Chain A
Amino acid sequence: MNEKAPWWVGILGWGTAFVIFLPILIIAITAFKTEQDAYSLSLLFKPTLQSFNEVFERSHYLGFVSNSVYVSLGSTIASLALAVPAAYSLAFFPGKRAQKILLWMLSTKMMPAVGVLIPIYLLAKTTLLLDSITGLIIIYTLINLPIAVWMAFTYFNEVPKEILEAARIDGANAWQEMLHLLLPTALPGLASTALLLVIFSWNEAFWSLNLSSVNAAPLTVFIASYSNPEGLFWAKLSAASLLAIAPILVLGWLAQKQLVRGMTFGAVK
């Protein structure tokens, strides 16, 4: 390959990046406009926090935020608690069927969630978990579990086996090995897994739209409620969307590699 790209390739790359970023940029700019200014896409306007104030005042915005936080963190902790031991076992005590177990778990992620919506809905209704944070945490944990196991497994697999052998020769038992060797070496990987799970749960919309309405509704449900274009809500919608995606704009920057890795089940590192 050439050592330096020709100038037009650079322009093309930056141009495409700008076009791709444009919708996000429009949201970010419109959020600081008044509703009157928002009606035109002009850049000449006086920035105002009016829309943010209205979003805070007129809806229980903080309620949606806290639901999103509870559900994302709760389900991330729960899926890690289940997945890390499982991945540990698969990576270091694989047995004959390890590969099959992993593929079976992967297959559940490929199935469309719509296929199980009615039974889950009925079950949630009878157990009174419909529109409850606990219900959403349980569902999010279950849908993220296969990803969590796969991700943790691929990170555990990257731990060099020689270190473990050496520790064992020195007389370490399984628990010591796990505490003093594995967790420290695999910790960055597990942190990435956690980050990924938080992003996925934060963005999850299928289950939140179908299983929550008022009490447990996270931000995704709140944004969806703005999608009716009757009246002029452009600026408020943008402000609400910007607030909803702000954490992801930060986490997404940090976690871009994990995001790709997670969506390909560890195939792309």
Chain B
Amino acid sequence: MIQSTRPAQYGFAERWLPRLVLAPSFLLSLVFIYGFVVWNGYLSFTASSLLPRYEWVGFHQYARLFANDRWWVAVFNLFKFGVLFIGISMLVGIFLAILLDQKIRFEGFIRTVYLYPMALSFIVTGTAWKWMLNPGLGLEKLMHDWGWTSFTFDWLVNPDMSIYTVVIAAIWQSSGFVMALFLAGLRGIDDSIIKAAQIDGATLPRIYWKIILPAMRPVFFSTLMILAHIAIKSFDLVVALTGGGPGFSSDVPATYMYAMAFTRGEMGLGSASAMMMLLSVSAVIVPYLYSELRRGSR
């Protein structure tokens, strides 16, 4: 894929310069993440509380973490959120992509509208959704004003349902992006195959199911990767929308970690939870990167 264009007549400086200009970016981005991950990992084995204390306590913080109910609420929430968010965004996104692939008028305009939520900050959209889903102010009040007085939508203040409001907002934010990925994939499919299938009398749904969707497997895979890491990283949206509440019912690991390290003065516990998140992300991306690296060196 990458072709060397280095000619033989280049001098010493021109041979070393490329490495010299590459080094800062490479080292900075790696040290920024992995260097600090190591530091964080060290903290997770110490008795750090309000301030870092470099007193080794072994796996004590991890034991406390695993015995902590709130942590498990956060983990379970991330699981619920991740499955629903990824699954539904995918479905909606694919639906929108197929819709736009039908040569609608003003397609460019509609596509931009679909993509808009993705361009906005999670903080702004989270705050907007917070007001819209607020029982006294938003949707519920609108329905009451229109005469449907028995309508209730109290998910935002209902501890059993609060995490699902985050799901709604996140799906709204990301579906357009999924659409863009799949639309690019759909447009990349050779039209002649589809024409041939049509001549053979295949119906449109059948063409999508049998020819187009199987051809989209790489798109599907990369979308999955991107959505998964958006889900694991989710912090701003939860902070803006529910603040992890009511109580800690909509906590996710990222907000749990923040609460422990910065408001509860439990830095060791916080860094242990951060390490658990890092390990689970690694479990997803290390095999992926490994396969990419193998493919790259082939």
Contacts and interface: CB of A to CB of B under 8 A. Distances in A.
14 contacts: A13-B104, A16-B114, A85-B21, A92-B18, A93-B5, A104-B26, A106-B289, A117-B258, A149-B29, A202-B121, A224-B239, A234-B137, A245-B120, A252-B120
Nearest to A208: B123
Contact of A115 (B37, B258, B267): B37
Nearest to B273: A114
A268 B180 contact: yes
A210 B110 CA distance: 36
B247 interface: no
Interface stretch (B65-73, B127-135, B158-166): B127-135
A199 interface: yes
B119 A256 contact: yes
Contacts of A46: none
A223 interface: yes
Contact of B277 (A114, A220, A249, A251): A114
B40 A119 contact: yes
A260 B115 contact: yes
Given A1-B191, A237-B131, A111 B181 contact: no
Interface residues of B, number: 105
Contact of A112 (B126, B262, B278): B278
Nearest to A122: B52
Contacts of B83: none
A224 B132 contact: no
A195 to B, nearest CB: 11
Contacts of A128: none
Q: Would you list the 3 A-B pairs with minimal beta carbon distance, nearest first?
A: A252-B119, A85-B21, A99-B296
Interface string A74-94: 000000001101101111111
A14 interface: yes
B118 interface: yes
A145 interface: yes
Q: Which secondary structure characterizes the binding site on chain A?
A: helix
A248 interface: yes
A104 B30 contact: yes
B96 A16 contact: yes
B37 A23 contact: no
B150 interface: no
Given A210-B258, A256-B119, A91 B2 contact: yes
A85 B36 contact: no
A96 to B, nearest CB: 9
A243 B124 CA distance: 11
Contact of A20 (B3, B172, B277): B172
Contacts of B84: none
Nearest to B225: A110
B124 A244 contact: yes
Given A104-B30, A204-B121, 8 more contacts: A27-B128, A39-B137, A101-B22, A143-B32, A224-B239, A252-B116, A259-B115, A264-B181
Given A227-B127, A227-B240, A115 B5 contact: no
B45 interface: no
A237 B235 CA distance: 21
A209 B28 contact: no
B41 to A, nearest CB: 9
A255 B180 CA distance: 13
